[in-house]
Structure 1
């Protein structure tokens, strides 16, 4: 049995629910490569050395031969089991559909779970392309099941009428990118989960995503959000890295940097 100080990392290399192009299934592999690169060290900006911190990599899940529904159930079960061994867990996607079962598992462990969602897209479609498990719908599913207490979305810059109606229906708190100010205070009472879609960043900083949407956050702004948000961070995910579109690999390195800073907060 691990101690209560243990942090966890798990990969969810799944992109069958991507609506535009596949590729995010290779995200966990590329983020780990960037994280292990000897071009930098594993000290976070708040001074935590990941080499000295007790954390465990649980490897990647496998999904061969499973239907989309079975994948969702498999992820929820595995995350629930893993949460028994760690104080906080960071999941690597994969497309954003994996966040539905991951957050659902967290909500069963942490009563009154809040979610901070950083993204260009609200991912609130009630039904997108006849796929209830679409990466465009994870937060609709969570809200329908009343799995989370509060959802705050930042960086949004693609709010259309169907998703606006969904946000009103479920009381989603949304700060569109056009309304963002760096002095906005994000504060949560109780456990907090951070879901970070890399296309929440401007493509100048994170070009390696399937759904490029100009006008987003800088890397510095996202790091500051992670550092300054008020709440007890009990889990997080970093999703939608598409190595096929990633030069450098620039976006994988940005993702690894954000993983480091999320670990720093969770510790």
Structure 2
């Protein structure tokens, strides 16, 4: 039976209702259901499944990027070993998070934090090896989290393959904290870890920041331009002063090198779009602003070589809005990545 891109998704079909296998897909999505260090709201470990379910309602023709589905898109099965590890690591992390971090004199908390770090290291290795293998086979790869800590292995694999890589980081938070709450691989430390552990990264451009510590701001300031921050308040002021969003996008993209990896935390969006994300913050980008920013990378002549989409958490009451937004953002990321490779 031939595939009809305009028909309803068939029962049991893959991501976006597509029939592609890992072997014949040009784009492979790696789901990572892990959120051990989440310190506020939870549920991002169910993000990949929520996005997969909602993706089957996405129309496959896109007026900006054309027919991304023609390249073949496949999401791997949710890895049961990572899901089990997440359950164990969340149990170990719970008393540490409840105490506000590792407290001096509490050896039990220190041991628990070390156990969580070991679990995170396993996840990082699994992700990095899986992504490296897919890249070696010529696949284009996107990671679907999980909390933001899950992205480190994917960033590392792409930075190794593309020396001098630029990272466009969309987020409400800078994620430049050092060992937050005692966890070396915290979701609040992922960009710090990428900057410190991935020498292949040439520049990191952060967009939408509106909740960060003074230390994170200072760390970026000491980076000699390797980390460029665009704070939400200043982006908003530029809009109020009359700067068109297209001009803002050009200004954001200008410092990036030719090859760009997009690390997209959905709390970088206005929280009405993904209200159940782990750490929502007022402000942020509209959906159109976010997708115009992604498209602006490609329109500038740069290419998107990979991405992650993290921190989507489904409504605990069963609503599908968060997954719906996440699935549509995912399709835009895929579409623009493919457009940039074709250019």
Q: Common fold, TM-score beyond 0.5? A: yes
Question: Could you give the per-residue CA deviations for residues 12-69 of structure 1, whole angstroms, max 9, x where no partner exists?
Answer: 11111212233100000000111112xx411223242244222332333332347222
Larger proportion of strand: 1
> For residue 98 of structure 1, what is the aligned residue in structure 2?
150
TM, length-normalised to structure 1: 0.92
TM, length-normalised to structure 2: 0.72
Larger Rg: 2
Contact 1:21 / 1:210 at 8 angstroms: preserved in 2?
yes
> For residue 45 of structure 1, what is the aligned residue in structure 2?
63
Q: Write the distance in 1 (CA, Å) between the matches of 2:122 and 2:182.
A: 17
> For residue 154 of structure 1, what is the aligned residue in structure 2?
207
1:243 matches 2:322: no
> For residue 118 of structure 1, what is the aligned residue in structure 2?
170
Q: Write the distance in 1 (CA, Å) between the matches of 2:70 and 2:151.
A: 29
**DSSP-derived class of the 1:174 partner:** strand
Q: Report the alpha carbon displacement of residue 226 of structure 1 after superposing the two structures with TM.
A: 1.1
- Return 99-108 or 77-86, whichever deviates more: 77-86
> What is the RMSD of the two structures over their aligned residues, measured on CA atoms?
2.0
Q: Write the distance in 2 (CA, Å) between the matches of 1:151 and 1:246.
A: 37
1:86 matches 2:119: no
Q: Write the distance in 1 (CA, Å) between the matches of 2:280 and 2:214.
A: 20
Structure 1 residue runs without a partner (length 5+): none
> For residue 194 of structure 1, what is the aligned residue in structure 2?
262
Out of 166, 174, 190, the position equivalent to 1:138 is: 190
Listed as ranges, the matches of 1:196-211 within 5 Å are 196-211=264-279
Q: Write the distance in 2 (CA, Å) between the matches of 1:141 and 1:57.
A: 26
Q: Report the alpha carbon displacement of residue 247 of structure 1 after superposing the two structures with TM.
A: 6.8
Instruction: Return closer, same or farther for 1:24/1:260 CA change in 2, 3 Å cut-off.
Output: same
Q: Write the distance in 1 (CA, Å) between the matches of 2:259 and 2:194.
A: 16
Contact 1:83 / 1:89 at 8 angstroms: preserved in 2?
yes
Larger proportion of helix: 2
> For residue 175 of structure 1, what is the aligned residue in structure 2?
230
Contact 1:207 / 1:246 at 8 angstroms: preserved in 2?
no
